[in-house]
A = this chain, B = another copy of it.
């Protein structure tokens, strides 16, 4: 099957609210790898076009460092390798590396959860969904914030139900009622900044403040590809269409920032493919 035109892929990639940052990064690598295999020849013009596409994909999801990180790693190959097949293989390898890193994160995060516990989470993280899938049938209770505006928490609860896990869906505003009774808060990440601060779906910062207040540990589960390179500077917190809020008000009266930053001192531990770190452990 021929590769989807870049403009179409970019548009979907930019608008995607369903998939997490890692999954989107892998989708971009798959697209780039496939498009390379379809090239007549990997000449200078083709390389320029690919570099431009990498730039556009990276810019499309500025809050997601894993996109920048994995695509940058692939671009290093693009600069170094002459053979199209080798370059496509590099994309496949990076996808596999990313998947393995997530699996290893899940293995370590799993060790933090015991039966009878109540776990509180926010939004939908594909890493946490893999973790929850490994808990199937466990006698624990997972409280999920709905995560406005699009309320992806609802589909999380549906999936957990299918996995025989006890759940409660709450509005984001109710998070502060649950941190005192939860054993732990666990969230994924869109990015981790160089000091360990967490860029994640908006509402995470409030949840983390309540968790700290109530002495409830908060764990961030994210493979190290999500670490933002220090040279990348301050992250941009993506704004999405205010129509997503669903309110009948002039758009100038509405705000829809999708991410917030949770400072490192609110985080009890960072779980990555290397283990559980009580202090942030940068890879870069």
- Name A residues whose Cβ lies closer than 8 Å to a Cβ of B: 145-149, 151, 154, 157-158, 161, 167-177, 201-203, 205-207, 209-210, 213, 237, 245, 247-249, 253-257, 260
A180 CB, nearest partner CB in chain B, Å: 10
By the criterion CB–CB under 8 Å, are B175 and A245 in contact?
Answer: no
Secondary structure dominating the interface of A = mixed
Report the separation of the CA atoms of residues A182 and B151 in the bound assembly, to the nearest whole angstrom. Answer: 27
Known: A253-B167, A255-B169. A175 touches B206 (CB 8 A): yes
For A147, the chain B residues whose CB sits under 8 A away are 173
The copy count of this chain in the complex is 2
**Considering the complex of A and B, which 6 residue pairs feature the smallest CB-CB distances, nearest first?**
A173-B203, A209-B209, A176-B205, A206-B206, A172-B173, A148-B171
By the criterion CB–CB under 8 Å, are A174 and B247 in contact?
Answer: no
By the criterion CB–CB under 8 Å, are A260 and B169 in contact?
Answer: no
Report the separation of the CA atoms of residues A254 and B161 in the bound assembly, to the nearest whole angstrom. Answer: 12
A191 CB, nearest partner CB in chain B, Å: 16
By the criterion CB–CB under 8 Å, are B158 and A174 in contact?
Answer: no
**A/B interface sample: 7 pairs, CB < 8 A:** A148-B148, A154-B247, A169-B247, A170-B255, A174-B202, A177-B257, A209-B213
Chain B, Cβ-Cβ closest to A201: B173
Report the separation of the CA atoms of residues A149 and B170 in the bound assembly, to the nearest whole angstrom. Answer: 10
A132 CB, nearest partner CB in chain B, Å: 15
